[in-house]
Structure 1
Amino acid sequence: MQAAAPTSAPPPPLSGRTLAIATVSLSLATFMNVLDTTIANVSIPAISGDVGVSPSQGTWVITSFAVANAISMPLTGWLTQRFGQVRLFVGSVLLFVLASLLCGLSGSLEMLIAFRVLQGLVAGPMIPLSQALLLQSFPRAKAGVALAAWSMTTLIAPVLGPILGGWISDNMSWPWIFYINVPAGLLAGLVTWRIFRHRESPTRKLPIDVVGLGLLVLWVGALQVMLEKGKELDWFASAQIVALGVTAVVGFCFFLIWELGEKHPIVDLSLFKRRNFSTGVVAIALGYGMFFGSVVLMPLWLQQYLGYTATWAGLVTAPIGIFAMILSPVVGKTLHKTDPRLYASAAFILFAVVNFMRSEFTLGVGPWQLVLPQLIQGAAVAAFFIPLTSLTLSGLSPDRIPAASGLSNFLRMVAAAVGTSVSTTTWENRASMHHAQLAEHVNAYEPAARSYLDSLMSLGMSQDAALAQIERQLNAQAYMLSANEYFWLSGLLLLGLGALIWLAKPQRQPAGGGGAPAMDAGH
């Protein structure tokens, strides 16, 4: 059980220009962190070629960061009690800047992976603490506005990451995807320290839960590597993936047993006793996992089977940010007088509608038909993150918010990794089945197939070229049908999550002071 931390009255909210500058500074650090999770993805070919390795080896640049980041994020609560919110946040930002600089200077894959591990480790506390410091800075009645400012940066960065990474790789050189963090991080770190250095949270010396930390590293590391490499190694047909899966499950079981009986656990699992926290975390994790799966799937489908370039695929999917940016402040300002479950339910319904719309796509889908669901999804995103985050953190004392935020964001990131793996694997497996079924009707005894083959050959194609053209069309059709099925099933599951959120029981509190959103946590 987590021992009680020393408590003191939270510092008064900030106001005026100081509040505006603090919000921009914390948001800039969050933006830089989230951007780094996606900016390297499109640069892997350039990095691999420069350091002399294959693209499959180069993907460890992404995997190493993801594993290290996932391990350190749930440690935020323990680290905050030991070092203080402000010192930990500023130290993480400055170390992130140093790690980014070292990543850009790396001359080999081994060096780059080592510095990406460092970058991921120090990045872990940044997102939860930026959330906690923002909530501390705003009056309690305006907690929704704080969450709106925070959520907008986490929404825009993943969309801009691949576009910016591709532009930098094409027009400059890949080290600049890391160098751009240096000025942004230095500015964010120095401004944050100047504003918050006298608003430090209480600290206490805690014994290090070495066993809990070791088990956390073991099961999270095994799970992340399994999810990153599963598709490449054909999942459980690979002995390596089986070993990683067993290690993750066994390590997780021992981790739970140990942490629940430890006096000073490295992760505060007692948070799950709170109904609002448990309900909110489950809804955020599952909802975000399905959302992120579609975010990954759409550009792949557009580029591989509809002939879109990477730039155009990015432009077609980018409109998700339009309504997200417009509506997030509106949701934030009205959240204190609206039941967050209503907003969250609306978000899940809109997510479901978007997926049902996509399930009707054909190979002849036009740009506007692609853009419209993205616009609607932006509105859903605005009504998703802010209310659910508010509900998850409701009723918590300021000293517990870093631990709760770290654990919530950790589960959200794990869900995103699972969602990515499930969506791409399901898409490919169902496409293989549809391809086999479609291919049964393409033979010399099918009049339609014979007629189409003859028409292609009459255009001057050889028989082999005509058959290759038919094969490409079969493949495109199979992947389209598979995508339709995935989106339809996702829509049904998202409707179910909209009902789940009503298990939470928010209760109003009088406004006043800074800290957690103004709702009492249900038990």
Structure 2
Amino acid sequence: MSLPSAANAPPLTGGKLALGTLAVALATFMNVLDSSIANVAIPTLSGSLGVSVDEGTWVITVFAAANAVSIPLTGWLTQRLGQIRLFVGAIVLFTIASWLCGMAPNLPVLLAARVFQGLTAGPLIPMSQAILLSSWPKQKSSTALALWAMTATVGPIAGPSLGGWITDSYSWTWIFYINIPVGIFAAVATWMIYRSRETPTRKPPIDLVGLGLLVAWVGTLQVMLDKGKDLDWFHSPVIVGLTIAAAVSFTAFVIWELTEEHPIVDLRLFGQRNFLGGTIAISIAYGVFFGNLVLLPQWMQEYLGYRAVDAGLVIAPIGIFTVLLSPVIAKVLPRSDARLIATLAFIGFALVFWMRSNYIVDIDTYHLVVPTLLQGIPMAMFFVPLTAIILAGQPPQRIPAAAGLSNFVRVFCGAVGTSLGANEWYDRTVVHHARLTEQATPGNPAFTQFLDFLAKAAHLDTSASRTVFGQLVDTQAAMLGLNDVFWISAVIFIAIIPLIWITRAGKSEGGAADSAAH
């Protein structure tokens, strides 16, 4: 007798439901935690490995890019291996990759281990959604989505504070070793509970051409974004070449996937209004959110003198309202229009980033924490409604492909958002630095008077006074540049609201969850 499909198996109950939900949630948490735990450790990690902070940031972007590449393989791997074997296998390999990251003696080895870690992480998010939804009763599917969203949002939130504490108290290597006990527990518990709910398997053909083109355009685009600043962008023939290669391989990828009988990525899903609007909206929003989540702790450490753990703790309060309100959203969603809730979330994000665009160089911790605390409110209204919109009306057999593709776009946008945010901060800092120093000439009485004041007040000679002035300008320029990034982020959140409203109207968009579960 064939094993039952997880989508058609009866819901779990009692202790099995609780333990199964915990195991799946921990696997999800482990994955999303690693997308952000290194954020506050980048300065320390870079110094330990003898590389620049810009190079250290590759630890974040290569993970996200590799993760994005592997996510579309989820549907094919599910058919070949079955949902449960794939999910447990991915947890085990992710745990091994985490150990390799901690053991890395230099940056190239660490980046290779992070690529491996990102590749193994690909199936975890879409599989966790499908398995969790199949575990809960149909009428509780919104609750299941809310639980998944809590783990998916708390991970990036807890990452910086946990990563900062580990980095300051122990070593940056432990930000990876922490996954080992979590991964072992999640793998063992998941296998014990779900092995009897394995899905049927078959051997579909693999779209090798599509996979190769996917790797080509994602890889070249990510390298172009990461190296652009160092190579002076399009003044460099290397960047021009990478851009052309990315454009050509992407165009070929789209054409091939739309005409291939068994595509590695089912781009036809974008022909559905809900999938199109919801996926683009959640992906752009996540890219902006995650890019800022990387920049904020770096700025606090480099220019405000915060320790890694303190920078992480400033970000941690974002989880308070997220955790408190997520169950409320789960109850409200079935009786509400998911588009309205998502719109309120985007407006909330815009207000938070507008508040941050008014930061000053001598800002205190209280005024840093308040926007972070308030950001938890739109975070709670972000993932659940948009996920429900994206999956609305999908038949059970297309849920893995739809969840995989939407997560691929979202995760890839997170990598792109990190690179673009860092580049925009650098560019705006350069602009403000030039404006601040254009009047710093010996012929300007105000400038010479300021240097005389520094010399007398701090007992400095002329050279030391100029050095102090330069440091002040650097700090102010970086602050003004970051304010520009925050302001642009606020505008983007308002600008993408219409994407939500191209989706179909109707209450209980959580019906998507019902379709996913049954």
TM-score by length of 2: 0.91
What aligned pairs does 1:178-327 form with structure 2 within 5 A after superposition? 178-327=176-325
Q: What residue number does 1:455 align with?
A: 453
Q: Contact 1:139–1:512 at 8 Å: present in 2 too? A: no
What aligned pairs does 1:31-430 form with structure 2 within 5 A after superposition? 31-41=29-39, 43=41, 61-106=59-104, 112-430=110-428
Mapped partners of 1:385, 1:273: distance in 2? 22
Q: Contact 1:10–1:398 at 8 Å: present in 2 too? A: no
Q: What residue number does 1:3 align with?
A: none
Mapped partners of 1:191, 1:218: distance in 2? 37
Aligned residues: 514
State yes or no: 1:480 paired with 2:491: no
Q: Contact 1:317–1:371 at 8 Å: present in 2 too? A: yes
Q: Contact 1:391–1:506 at 8 Å: present in 2 too? A: no
Structure 1 residues 42 and 366: alpha-carbon distance in aligned structure 2, compared to 1, 3 A threshold: closer
Structure 1 residues 23 and 400: alpha-carbon distance in aligned structure 2, compared to 1, 3 A threshold: same
Residues 341-386 of structure 1: CA deviation (Å, up to 9, x unaligned) = 1110100111111111112222232222211111111101111111
Structure 1 range deviating more: 293-302 or 105-114? 105-114
Mapped partners of 1:330, 1:20: distance in 2? 20
Residues 62-120 of structure 1: CA deviation (Å, up to 9, x unaligned) = 55433322211111122212222111111111222233334444556665444433322
What is the aligned counterpart of 1:16 among 14, 21, 26? 14
In the TM superposition, residue 304 of structure 1 has moved relative to its aligned partner by: 2.6
In the TM superposition, residue 223 of structure 1 has moved relative to its aligned partner by: 1.9
Instruction: Give SS of 1:198's match.
Output: helix
In the TM superposition, residue 518 of structure 1 has moved relative to its aligned partner by: 9.4
In the TM superposition, residue 335 of structure 1 has moved relative to its aligned partner by: 1.1
State yes or no: 1:500 paired with 2:499: yes
Residues 125-177 of structure 1: CA deviation (Å, up to 9, x unaligned) = 01111111112222333222212211222222223334433443444444433
Mapped partners of 2:491, 2:59: distance in 1? 35
Q: Contact 2:336–2:507 at 8 Å: present in 1 too? A: no
In the TM superposition, residue 9 of structure 1 has moved relative to its aligned partner by: 6.6
Residues 447-486 of structure 1: CA deviation (Å, up to 9, x unaligned) = 4333322211212111111122222222222222222222
Mapped partners of 1:428, 1:269: distance in 2? 35
Instruction: Give SS of 1:11's match.
Output: coil
Structure 1 range deviating more: 353-362 or 298-307? 298-307
Mapped partners of 1:125, 1:440: distance in 2? 52
Instruction: Give SS of 2:197's match.
Output: coil
Mapped partners of 1:510, 1:349: distance in 2? 20
Specify the code of the residue in structure 2 equivalent to 1:270: R
Residues 27-73 of structure 1: CA deviation (Å, up to 9, x unaligned) = 10111112223334555677677778787766665554333222111
CA-based RMSD of the aligned residues comes to 2.8
Mapped partners of 2:107, 2:305: distance in 1? 32
Structure 1 residues 515 and 385: alpha-carbon distance in aligned structure 2, compared to 1, 3 A threshold: same
Instruction: Give SS of 2:382's match.
Output: helix
Structure 1 residues 313 and 448: alpha-carbon distance in aligned structure 2, compared to 1, 3 A threshold: same
Mapped partners of 1:65, 1:511: distance in 2? 31
Instruction: Give SS of 2:381's match.
Output: helix
TM-score by length of 1: 0.90
Mapped partners of 1:411, 1:512: distance in 2? 23
Residues 470-518 of structure 1: CA deviation (Å, up to 9, x unaligned) = 2222222222222222222222221122233111114457999974369
Structure 1 range deviating more: 239-248 or 50-59? 50-59
State yes or no: 1:469 paired with 2:468: yes
Q: Contact 2:67–2:411 at 8 Å: present in 1 too? A: no
Instruction: Give SS of 1:314's match.
Output: helix
Mapped partners of 1:173, 1:450: distance in 2? 46
Structure 1 residues 111 and 373: alpha-carbon distance in aligned structure 2, compared to 1, 3 A threshold: closer
Q: Contact 1:78–1:267 at 8 Å: present in 2 too? A: no
